[in-house]
């Protein structure tokens, strides 16, 4: 005896088999390498799923010895475990953020310069954000692992002539497998015998419908032939026997698993667009930092700039050089937006949370950013654009006019009814004449207006209203017949969600919903009365089968009137049979037509004519053109004798033969059934088009059906060039088959990136696999750039389309639910899985899961992504604005010789409580009005901020900031000291500097032997002029002289007052001359100590608490207050592009404002903290004065936003977004 051995060559669309005969006795294989090579090179070899008559389904199967050999050759029937990116690898990817590198460098600089507190804070910030991001990205990598769970544990096979149950992993090609209803197919199997065998292949095809299986393939060019069973699909009815032709990674599911392998990408390619933009921005900031270091350090050294109190003696150049270098480095550290990654992470997390509240669960944080940049949405049709549930839309009858001579049907006697509204399985609605249901009346019904209140619209669905028209008669009879013939269906409403579900056949569920719209609700009064008056005969039913394509039920007629609803029959008829099924099967059997007799429908005299039959066929064709699935419902009256004859028949085939025998079988109605679009989809697609987002539908349906749905939802418009915008996926492939190795050679040649992307769909194919290659990259790009509807799509087609869109620079979102969609979801920037109908594999491969399977949720998620990106822009603009403004203030202070407004620990505290934490509140801000009315952003050269942001928002803010803060700082220092230049406040060693008004303090020293003057580190005399207000004409003079014990004098921390301790009369200067004039080697007259004064006995003032130093501290404390309050209040102006006063109340911002001001109170009024930061507490008057500059800054900021808004209008071509009365042409 001999058995069939099969070697499988798989491509994305077909499996090609090479068959050879193995001797079961010898157990050796007779196929040679030449045989394999010839079969591989031939395109005429047996296709995947081809039937081999030599294989006997009742045969003995493989022997145990042969199973062992094949198991060693082909391996176990299980999927390989795919490797995942390690946590360390993801963590390193996160460290690729250039801002992190800058912050880490800044931390090292701070540590090297002795600022350990700031260094520790910055490095901890980097570690926390990196870890949080890495943990988020590490989860959800188990797409391939989920495939292994979609396999049964055991299978029934025939081996050694006996049926037995074996582990699925032990199956080998050639095994005879038995399957039955409820089983999961254990491998890819060719059908050898089938009995009413049906499978659900939705995990592969995405279409949730039963597929009839047969021994011979009905569509030889189909990617999933009907004589094949596929691994991990479910058997829903019948039974069968088949031969295993592929196991493990050679199955269709295995191909998908190989495509889910982690791709080898560079560190840069793994970053999302926002991360890449931030890296580019970070590079730019790094360049600016280098310039700041150079300019700041050089200028500081050349000008001999020092802080108050000075860190270096005036004559120590090396100390001054070091101090200038450190100052330049710290200025560069200050400009780096250290909190940017943290705030961006928080914003993306907030966006993910808000999306989850809207039924879009984000599994990878980067998807939020990709959604905001999405330019193309590739979506499936079934269940996403449509309800995913069949609904009856139209009902066409065939009615003979009783006054029509010659018995011919006229067009006017073909009533057409419409069911509205169409909301899946929701039974709410009614029946109307199609000609009456105009667009305006549909809109009125959509708005909730009762049908009886819509002018010109007659509700034909009310069972109590009189039936006076042919349409009403047809409606009553049809819905009653539908109710009786679909009693196997049950409709239920989910109380918690309000969704309706059906138990039973989906096509019958559509008719059952239509019956509910006609008044026969589930378990309603009219339904109970109908079943009571017209009892069913269950034993006479003919169930549906794939071979019959029809079913039949028998019911009693009313014994008195011999009627069924508005159908009236002769007195000899006691029952009637209701047949429903495929029109092509029932059309030839029709023998009668209905007519109106005495206000009821009755079987017309004379049989159906050829013209009437042709009219019915034309109606069926019209339904097909509208992408409606047609179902014919016919009625035939039965006499008592015929019923008795039926009861004597044993088989359904005998009963069906009697029903279809020549006689009065009349067409009751031709139903048009379809999967209706979701009501929310058309407005969502319109919103996408307004936002510049292309919507592409990729479906496995026929092209006419796809075009019809595309027009209904607005993907294409009437009059569009359908040849360009709607294509079959076969257009992507070459007409003739070529070898995969040819494509491989092209791939290995010096080709462009486009060609590599195009060939990436072949990545799962092995070297011995025959494929039908795709067309050239340029051809595919040309098609995908124009086509928005792809029909008859297969898994590899989706991958090819996504790759082509990536080549064009598009950021694409791809939806899917079946296992076959997982590779495309993995390849797209945003993979979107269906939460209800999606498989575990698809969900694990996706970046986002739609919990309601609704396309509108994707659009809402895109809007949320854009909102988050817009808020990131606002944060970056604010953060770089305040950072740049502080740096500009420091540079201004150095160039102009003014006190530094903020420095050291003050910068760290302000960065934490103003630059990092409060801006997180922007994450909760609403989107701008134009968010979904502008094109998607260009991700290739995106710097987060565009030209309008930089020139009309960022730069004006910095200019206003520097003007307000530095002016207020100078004023504050001047009111407390009478001076505002640093050199004046530090003091001068030139004799007579105070008397000439050149300095606030005088510094003494001594001359070396070479005549070089060596100055003291502290002054011996300070004279300050303090004003309590700007309007005080005469300043209060504070004249302080040095003592030998200046540190023992208590200083009032609120005002710096030391009483009279430093008055000249209370110091040694009152009793003698301790200072004399001397001339240095440059000829400058200096203050020198008398020769009798020892260096240890010099009478000095405290360099930190003399009137000039403490007055400067008070002024700088007021300046710091203005900076912190001004920045946190300016954040309010960055919350919205409009006037901040019109923005909604934000609890998040209010909380952050309270936090910031509380921290300011701690900084100013908690002594240890105040001393640590080098500040002084402020009285109420000084605090009030310090709050004026922030208010001025806000006012100037709002004024500059006026031009900013105008420029935005020009950039976005938006008119009147903020002020409808004012428009500005771009």
Say if residue 421 is preceded by a cis peptide, omega within 30 of 0: yes
End-to-end CA distance of the chain: 84
Q: Are 170 and 77 in contact (CB under 8 A)?
A: yes
Dist CA 602 CA 587 (whole Å): 19
pLDDT in tens, 571-581: 999 999 999 99
Query: 725-739 burial by CB neighbour count: b if 16+ within 10 A, else e?
Result: bbbbbebbbeeebeb
Give 264-284 as a 3 state SS string. Answer: CCCCCCCCCHHHHHHHHHHHH
Checking if the pLDDT of 770 tops 50, the result is no
Q: What pLDDT is attached to residue 236?
A: 81
Dist CA 363 CA 383 (whole Å): 21
Q: What pLDDT is attached to residue 1140?
A: 83
Q: What pLDDT is attached to residue 31?
A: 37
Checking if the pLDDT of 643 tops 90, the result is yes
Checking if the pLDDT of 1099 tops 80, the result is yes
**Span 343-361, mean pLDDT?**
83
Which is higher by pLDDT, 417 or 853? 417
Q: Are 712 and 386 in contact (CB under 8 A)?
A: no
Q: What pLDDT is attached to residue 1030?
A: 67
DSSP state of 512: H
* Helix (H) / strand (E) containing 878: helix 855-896
Tell which residue, 1155, 917, 914, has the closest CA to residue 342: 917
Instruction: State the pLDDT confidence band at 916, using cuts at 50, 70 and 90.
Output: confident
Tell which residue, 189, 6, 187, 7, has the closest CA to residue 79: 187
Dist CA 305 CA 331 (whole Å): 14
User: At residue 399, what are phi and psi to the nearest 5 degrees?
Assistant: -125, 125
Radius of gyration of the chain (CA): 42
pLDDT in tens, 491-521: 888 777 777 888 877 888 899 999 999 999 9
Q: What pLDDT is attached to residue 1119?
A: 94
Q: What pLDDT is attached to residue 192?
A: 92
Checking if the pLDDT of 659 tops 70, the result is yes
Q: Are 849 and 921 in contact (CB under 8 A)?
A: no
Phi-psi region of 562 (alpha: psi -120 to 50; beta: other; left: phi over 0): left
Tell which residue, 546, 569, 562, has the closest CA to residue 666: 569
Q: How far is CA 223 from the centre of its chain?
A: 31
**Span 1101-1112, mean pLDDT?**
90
Q: What pLDDT is attached to residue 39?
A: 32
The residues that bridge with 1200 in the sheet, in sequence order, are: none
Which is higher by pLDDT, 1058 or 436? 436
Q: Is 222 exposed, middle or buried (0-12, 13-18, 19+ CB in 10 A)?
A: middle
Dist CA 464 CA 393 (whole Å): 23
Q: Are 754 and 807 in contact (CB under 8 A)?
A: yes
pLDDT in tens, 1164-1209: 999 999 988 889 999 998 999 999 999 999 999 999 999 998 888 8
Say if residue 537 is preceded by a cis peptide, omega within 30 of 0: no
Dist CA 424 CA 388 (whole Å): 8
Among the ranges given (14-28, 763-777, 862-876), the one the predictor scored with the smallest mean pLDDT: 14-28
**Span 164-177, mean pLDDT?**
91
pLDDT in tens, 457-468: 888 877 777 777
Strands 399-400 and 594-597 turn out to be: parallel
Instruction: State the pLDDT confidence band at 13, using cuts at 50, 70 and 90.
Output: very low
Tell which residue, 946, 925, 804, 868, has the closest CA to residue 370: 868
Torsion angle, CA of 677/683/685/691, rounded to 10 degrees? -170
DSSP state of 774: B
Q: Are 137 and 90 in contact (CB under 8 A)?
A: yes
**Span 313-326, mean pLDDT?**
78
Q: Are 1117 and 1178 in contact (CB under 8 A)?
A: yes
SS3 state of residue 666: strand
Checking if the pLDDT of 1219 tops 60, the result is no
Checking if the pLDDT of 739 tops 50, the result is no
Q: What pLDDT is attached to residue 295?
A: 86
pLDDT in tens, 369-386: 888 889 999 988 877 888
Checking if the pLDDT of 169 tops 60, the result is yes
pLDDT in tens, 1001-1029: 999 998 888 888 888 888 999 999 998 77
Instruction: State the pLDDT confidence band at 431, using cuts at 50, 70 and 90.
Output: very high
Dist CA 256 CA 260 (whole Å): 6
Instruction: State the pLDDT confidence band at 703, using cuts at 50, 70 and 90.
Output: confident
Mean per-residue pLDDT over the chain, rounded? 81
* pLDDT > 70: percent of the chain: 84
């Amino acid at each position: 005896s001999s058995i069939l051995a099969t070697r499988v060559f798989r491509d994305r669309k077909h499996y090609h088999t090479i068959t050879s005969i193995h001797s079961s006795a010898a157990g050796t294989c007779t196929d040679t390498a030449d045989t394999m090579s010839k079969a591989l090179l031939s395109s005429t070899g047996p296709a995947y799923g081809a039937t081999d008559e030599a294989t006997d389904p009742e045969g003995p199967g493989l022997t145990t010895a042969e199973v062992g050999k094949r198991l060693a050759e082909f391996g176990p029937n299980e999927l390989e475990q795919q490797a995942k990116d390690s946590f360390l690898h993801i963590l390193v990817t996160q460290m690729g953020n250039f801002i992190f590198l800058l912050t880490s460098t800044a931390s090292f600089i701070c540590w090297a310069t002795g600022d350990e507190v700031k260094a520790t804070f910055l490095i901890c910030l980097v570690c926390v954000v990196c870890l949080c991001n890495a943990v988020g990205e590490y989860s959800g990598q188990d797409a391939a692992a989920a495939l292994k769970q979609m396999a049964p544990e055991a299978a029934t096979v025939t081996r050694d002539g006996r049926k037995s149950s074996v582990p699925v992993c032990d199956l080998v090609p050639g095994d005879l497998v038995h399957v039955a209803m409820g089983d999961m197919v254990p491998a890819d199997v060719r059908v050898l015998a089938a009995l009413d065998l049906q499978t659900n292949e939705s995990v592969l095809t995405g279409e949730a419908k039963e597929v009839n299986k047969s021994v011979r393939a009905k569509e030889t060019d189909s990617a999933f032939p009907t004589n094949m069973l596929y691994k991990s699909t479910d058997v829903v009815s019948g039974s069968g026997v088949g031969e295993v032709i592929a196991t493990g990674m050679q199955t269709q599911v295995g191909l998908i698993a190989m495509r889910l392998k982690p791709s080898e990408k560079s560190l840069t390619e793994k970053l999302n667009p926002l991360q890449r933009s931030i890296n580019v921005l970070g590079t730019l900031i790094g360049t600016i930092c280098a310039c700041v270091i150079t300019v700041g350090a050089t200028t500081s050294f050349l000008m001999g700039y020092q802080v108050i109190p000075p860190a270096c003696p005036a004559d120590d150049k090396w100390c001054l050089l070091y101090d200038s270098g450190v100052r330049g480095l710290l200025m560069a550290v200050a400009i780096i937006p250290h909190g940017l990654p943290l705030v961006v992470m928080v914003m993306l997390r907030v966006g993910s949370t808000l999306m989850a509240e809207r039924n879009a669960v984000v599994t990878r944080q980067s998807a939020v950013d990709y959604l905001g940049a999405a330019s193309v949405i590739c979506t499936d049709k079934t269940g996403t654009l449509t309800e995913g549930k069949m609904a009856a839309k139209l009902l066409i009858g065939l009615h003979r006019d009783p006054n029509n001579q010659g018995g011919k049907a006229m067009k006017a006697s073909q009533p057409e009814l419409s069911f509205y509204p169409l909301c899946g399985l929701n039974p709410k609605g009614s029946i109307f004449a199609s000609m009456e249901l105009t667009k305006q009346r549909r809109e009125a019904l959509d708005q909730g207006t009762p049908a009886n209140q819509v002018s010109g619209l007659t509700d034909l669905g009310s069972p109590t209203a009189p039936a006076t028209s042919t349409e009403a008669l047809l409606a009553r009879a049809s819905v009653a017949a539908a109710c009786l013939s679909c009693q196997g269906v049950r409709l239920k409403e989910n109380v918690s969600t309000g969704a309706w579900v059906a138990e039973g056949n989906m096509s019958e569920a559509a008719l059952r919903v239509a019956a509910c719209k006609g008044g026969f609700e589930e378990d309603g009064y009219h339904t109970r009365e109908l079943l009571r008056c017209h009892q069913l005969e269950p034993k006479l039913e003919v169930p549906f089968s794939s071979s019959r394509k029809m079913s039949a039920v028998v019911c009693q007629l009313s014994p008195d009137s011999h009627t069924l609803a508005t159908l009236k029959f002769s007195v000899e008829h006691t029952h009637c049979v209701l047949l429903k099924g495929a029109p092509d099967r029932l059309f030839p059997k029709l023998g009668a037509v209905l007519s109106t007799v005495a206000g009821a429908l009755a079987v017309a005299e004379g049989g159906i004519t050829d013209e009437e039959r042709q009219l019915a066929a034309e109606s069926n064709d019209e339904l097909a053109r509208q992408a409606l699935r047609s179902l014919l419902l016919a009625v035939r009256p039965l006499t008592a004798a015929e019923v008795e004859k039926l009861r004597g028949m044993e088989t359904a085939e005998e009963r069906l033969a009697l029903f279809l025998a020549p006689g009065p079988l009349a067409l009751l109605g031709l139903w048009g059934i379809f999967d209706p679009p979701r009501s929310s989809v058309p407005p969502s697609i319109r919103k996408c088009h307004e936002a510049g987002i292309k919507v592409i539908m990729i479906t496995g349906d026929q092209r006419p059906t796809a075009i019809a749905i595309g027009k209904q939802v607005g993907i294409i418009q009437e009059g569009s060039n359908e040849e360009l915008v709607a294509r079959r996926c076969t257009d992507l492939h070459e007409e003739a088959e070529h070898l995969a190795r040819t494509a491989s050679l092209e791939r290995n040649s010096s080709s462009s990136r486009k060609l590599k992307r195009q060939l990436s769909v072949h990545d799962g194919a092995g070297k011995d696999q025959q494929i039908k290659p795709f067309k050239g990259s340029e051809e595919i790009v040309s098609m995908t750039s124009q086509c928005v509807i792809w029909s008859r799509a297969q898994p590899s087609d989706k991958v090819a389309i996504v790759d082509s869109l990536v080549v064009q620079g598009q950021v694409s979102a791809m939806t899917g639910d079946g296992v076959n969609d997982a590779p495309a979801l993995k390849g797209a920037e945003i993979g979107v899985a269906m939460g209800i109908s999606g498989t575990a594999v698809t969900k694990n491969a996706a970046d986002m899961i739609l919990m309601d399977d609704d396309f509108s949720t994707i659009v809402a998620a895109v809007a949320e992504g854009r909102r988050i990106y817009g808020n990131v822009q606002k944060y970056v603009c604010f953060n770089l604005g305040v950072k740049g403004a502080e740096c500009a203030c420091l540079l201004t202070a150095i160039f102009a010789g003014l006190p530094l407004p903020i420095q050291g620990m003050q910068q760290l505290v302000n960065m934490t409580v103003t630059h990092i934490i409060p801006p997180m509140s922007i994450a909760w801000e609403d989107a701008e009005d134009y968010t979904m009315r502008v094109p998607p952003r260009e991700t290739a050269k995106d710097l987060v901020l565009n030209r309008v942001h930089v020139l009309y928002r960022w730069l004006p803010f910095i200019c206003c900031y520097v003007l307000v803060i530095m002016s207020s700082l100078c004023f504050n220092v001047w009111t407390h000291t009478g001076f505002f230049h640093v050199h004046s406040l530090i003091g001068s060693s030139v004799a007579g500097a105070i008397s000439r008004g050149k300095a606030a303090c005088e510094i003494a020293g001594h001359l070396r032997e070479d005549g070089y003057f060596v100055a003291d580190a502290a002054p011996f005399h300070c004279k300050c002029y303090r004003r309590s207000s700007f309007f005080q004409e005469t300043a209060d003079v504070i004249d302080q002289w040095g003592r030998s014990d200046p540190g023992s004098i208590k200083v009032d921390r609120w005002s710096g007052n030391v009483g009279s301790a430093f008055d000249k009369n209370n110091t040694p200067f009152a009793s003698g001359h301790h200072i004399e004039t001397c001339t240095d080697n440059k000829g400058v007259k200096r203050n020198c100590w008398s020769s009798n004064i020892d260096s240890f006995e010099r009478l000095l003032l405290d360099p930190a608490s003399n009137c000039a130093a403490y007055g400067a501290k008070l002024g700088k404390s007021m300046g710091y207050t203005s900076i912190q309050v001004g920045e946190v209040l300016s954040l309010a102006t960055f919350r919205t592009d409009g006037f901040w006063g019109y923005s909604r109340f934000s609890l998040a911002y209010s909380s952050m404002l309270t936090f910031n001001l509380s921290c300011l109170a701690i900084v100013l009024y908690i002594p240890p903290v105040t001393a640590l930061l080098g500040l002084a507490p402020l009285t109420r008057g000084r605090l009030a004065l310090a709050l004026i500059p922030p208010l001025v800054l806000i006012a100037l900021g709002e004024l500059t936003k006026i031009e900013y808004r105008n420029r935005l209008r020009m950039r976005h071509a938006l008119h009147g977004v903020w002020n409808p009365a004012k428009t500005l042409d771009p």
